[in-house]
Amino acid sequence: MTSATPIDVTVGVTKTGVDFALSPGGRVSGTLTDAATGLPLANVTVRIQTPSGSSLAFGRTNGAGVYTTTTGLPPGTYYARTSNALGYVEKLYRDIACPGGSCAVAGGTPISLSAGTTTTGIDFALSKGGRVSGTVTDAVTGLKLAGVTVRVYTSSGSQVTSGYTDGAGVYTTSSGLPAGAYYAVTGNSRGYIDELYPDVVCPGYACALSSGTLITVSLGSTTGGVDFTLAPGGRIRGTLADSSTHALLASVTVAIMNASGNHVTYGYSDASSSGVYTTVGGLPSGTYYARTLNSLGYLDELYDGVSCPGGSCGVTGGAPIAVTAGETTLGIDFTLGSGGRIDGRVTDVAGGAPVC
């Protein structure tokens, strides 16, 4: 990497001549088809990844099932895998089942790219998998709940697909699953207590999957009736302020933990909230603890007033917060003091160029 050149900008003046000379990169192209019928598959994404799993480029299939990645890549070795919401089992190139991206990309066939050329023939034939469907309702009113995510996990705890409830409270998982048995857990930001199927309280996924019931899935079919009835939970609200100026602070997260230190929900003070946060997920009645997380240079704290930089404190050293299901606990406020920060440059020892 060469050293970057700083650009001087003057208020009210347009800086011209900030030009770039770009080199053509390598691209990937191929066709996706249904493994059973041979018909082309539209609206499937192919992601190009590094050996470590970072996604650098993607392409999306057209009506003929053909894709070409949009971003040029430097010469090198890459891997490709699919991403779809059509009920097909995802694959890693070449012909390796990879539901939910739950596979190491370096286990696939490497794809070599050269500058200015398109590597063609990176094709996929996808098979229909199993899906999970159901309805999510309010346990008190019986009303259907929109905007709730249902995540599906393997017995080993890997998330492999998810669904999202519509206006009628109905969800169907997106990508297909290999035949087998799975667990399902809800996730919501509407103040309801999340559950592991069936009827196991699981706020913030802080529960053992094995306490739920396995859901059997078969290839090419949808397992229906995986329903949830969610009860309103308790929430926590407060303000975040600078301890010296008393100015309200936006862009600070408040993490809520149980006595075991497990994260169960969070709140966030965005720019529109005037320093006020309200936790998103509902909590069962009980005792919880709260601490801040910020990137603004303030010292994070455990409630109430316990210094906790980087989460380096036991949560039970803070003040317990009593929460009642269906109610909001108010006044859980934080006043944060500015901390010291460290800056510097990281450079290549040989040439002195900055390392990004």
Query: 341 pLDDT band (50/70/90 cuts)?
Result: low
> In this predicted structure, what is the pLDDT of residue 314?
92
DSSP element (H, E) containing 283: none
**DSSP states of 276-306 as a string?**
EEE-SS-B-SEEEEEEEE-SSSBPPEETTTE
* Domains parsed from the chain with CATH numbers: 27-126 (2.60.40.1120), 131-230 (2.60.40.10), 235-336 (2.60.40.10)
Query: 348 pLDDT band (50/70/90 cuts)?
Result: low
Per residue, the 3-state secondary structure of 31-78, as one string, reads EEEECCCCCECCCCEEEEECCCCCEEEEEECCCCCEEECCCCECCEEE
Amino acid in position 169: G
Residue 93 CA, chain-centre distance (Å), reads 23
The mean pLDDT of 199-225, rounded to a whole number, is 96
Query: 349 pLDDT band (50/70/90 cuts)?
Result: low
In Å, how far are 248, 254, 264, 305, 308 from 311, measured between CA atoms? 22, 12, 15, 14, 5
The structure tokens listed for 106 are 């370096």
The structure tokens listed for 313 are 């404190």
> In this predicted structure, what is the pLDDT of residue 351?
56
pLDDT digits (tens, 9 = 90+) for 106-121: 999 999 999 999 999 9
pLDDT digits (tens, 9 = 90+) for 178-189: 999 999 999 999
> In this predicted structure, what is the pLDDT of residue 273?
75
Percentage of the chain lying above the pLDDT 90 cut? 84
Q: How many CB atoms lie within 10 A of CB 165?
A: 23
Provide the residue count of the chain: 356
Q: Which residue has the tokens 């053509």?
A: 24
DSSP letter at 178 equals -
Q: What is the mean pLDDT of the chain?
A: 93
In Å, how far are 52, 200, 220 from 226, measured between CA atoms? 35, 13, 17
d(CA 197, CA 177) in angstroms, rounded, equals 18
pLDDT digits (tens, 9 = 90+) for 304-325: 999 999 888 999 999 999 999 9
> In this predicted structure, what is the pLDDT of residue 15?
83
Amino acid in position 90: E
Query: 124 pLDDT band (50/70/90 cuts)?
Result: very high
Query: What is the pTM for the complete model shown?
Result: 0.85
**Nearest by Cα to 105 from 59, 52, 30:** 52
> In this predicted structure, what is the pLDDT of residue 342?
59
pLDDT digits (tens, 9 = 90+) for 66-82: 999 999 999 999 999 99
